[in-house]
Chains A and B, each alone.
Chain A
Amino acid sequence: MAIFGLWVINKAGGLVYQRNFADGLALLTSNEYLVLAGTLHGIHAITSRLSPMGSSSGVQVIEGESFKINIFLTVTGTKFVLLTSLSDTTAEVVLQRVYDIYADAVMKNPFHTPEMPIRSEGFDTRIGTLIGTGQT
């Protein structure tokens, strides 16, 4: 079980936080991460419209052959994305905890501009203690 990375995407589809943990996935440039986050934002909107069975949420889990992308959408439209190994079962709990930390360390910070990149040492430290190196 491993956590490879964490992204925070604002309600407009911009990547406001990105951090890598365990090795295993390709290391991309920050521009590439921005593009992927934007794509994911679009896909999320489309997937909720493709439902064959009435209304649906957007995509929640995307699986590849060796990793999966867990997406947690808050009521305010911010998306928390966690890249984990396929066997990982803790993603939902971790994302919920990340949301708690985000609320405490980012939203309550008077120096933070909403929808802008997160540059907060407190947030970094607390995410670091929650996820560590990403290996369990």
Chain B
Amino acid sequence: MTIHSLYIYDRHCTCIYYQDWHRTKPVSPVPATTIDGNASPSAFSSPRNTLSSTTGIVVAMNEGTIKLPASPQPQTTISSTGLPFDEEAKLVYGVVISLRNMIKKLSGRNEQFVNYRTSAYKLHLFETISGYKFVMLSDPKTDSLRFVLRQVYIGPFLEYVVRNPLVKMDSRERGVDNEYFRASVDRLVRGLSVFS
């Protein structure tokens, strides 16, 4: 029983926050691009690793999980460990939206998609009225983690993102990452009984 990762998407379909815990298959950083101006290696010298996507959104992730390449790689190289981060984030979003629409269509009511399970993991979704989507990947045997995602929303997210005057909510350039939010989410997730 464990929790692998958390993605937060805004209503513009962009991933504004990412954090992972137990993950044997690390995300590969997005090859440096010229679009967001982060191509120079010195941009990665911040204490926290930064994943930038080709759409220009900068999403920070927890420290010490990946080593970013010292030199920019060509866009086409994809590491054998997995997809580049922005590709992965887009696939997660695409799956979530398709399933949400499918569930709505099949039910004929305004029914929400809750989770899906494969042999290796389970994906949970919580969507707010304002269009923020909280997505969590966990062990396939865990029960529904929707309440946890709701707690992330009503706790850390409201406190350190929505009420934080320094966070630009609808910015299309930066994610919502800040130290308090990250620490608070981390504490909440590590305190769960399913986290081990």
Contact = CB atoms under 8 A, between A and B. Distances in A.
A26 B95 CA distance: 22
B194 to A, nearest CB: 15
B88 interface: yes
B119 interface: yes
B103 A62 contact: yes
B111 interface: yes
B41 interface: no
Most buried by B among A58, A62, A64: A64
Contacts, number: 109
Interface stretch (B19-27, B56-64, B160-168): B19-27
Given A50-B92, A50-B95, A62-B113, A39 B25 contact: no
Given A51-B121, A53-B25, A54-B25, A65 B112 contact: yes
Interface in A27-53: 27-28, 32, 36, 39-40, 42-43, 46-53
B183 interface: no
A56 B106 contact: no
Interface residues of A, number: 34
Interface residues of B, number: 35
B16 interface: no
Contacts of A26: 105-109
Contacts of A61: 116-117
Contacts of A64: 103, 106-107, 111-114
A62 B112 CA distance: 11
Given A52-B23, A53-B23, A36 B118 contact: no
Contacts of A36: 102, 105-106
A84 to B, nearest CB: 12
Contacts of A48: 118
A59 B144 CA distance: 16
A28 B105 contact: yes
Interface of B: 4-5, 20, 23-25, 83, 88, 91-92, 94-95, 98-99, 102-103, 105-109, 111-121, 123, 137, 144
6 contacts: A53-B24, A57-B118, A63-B113, A64-B103, A65-B112, A69-B106
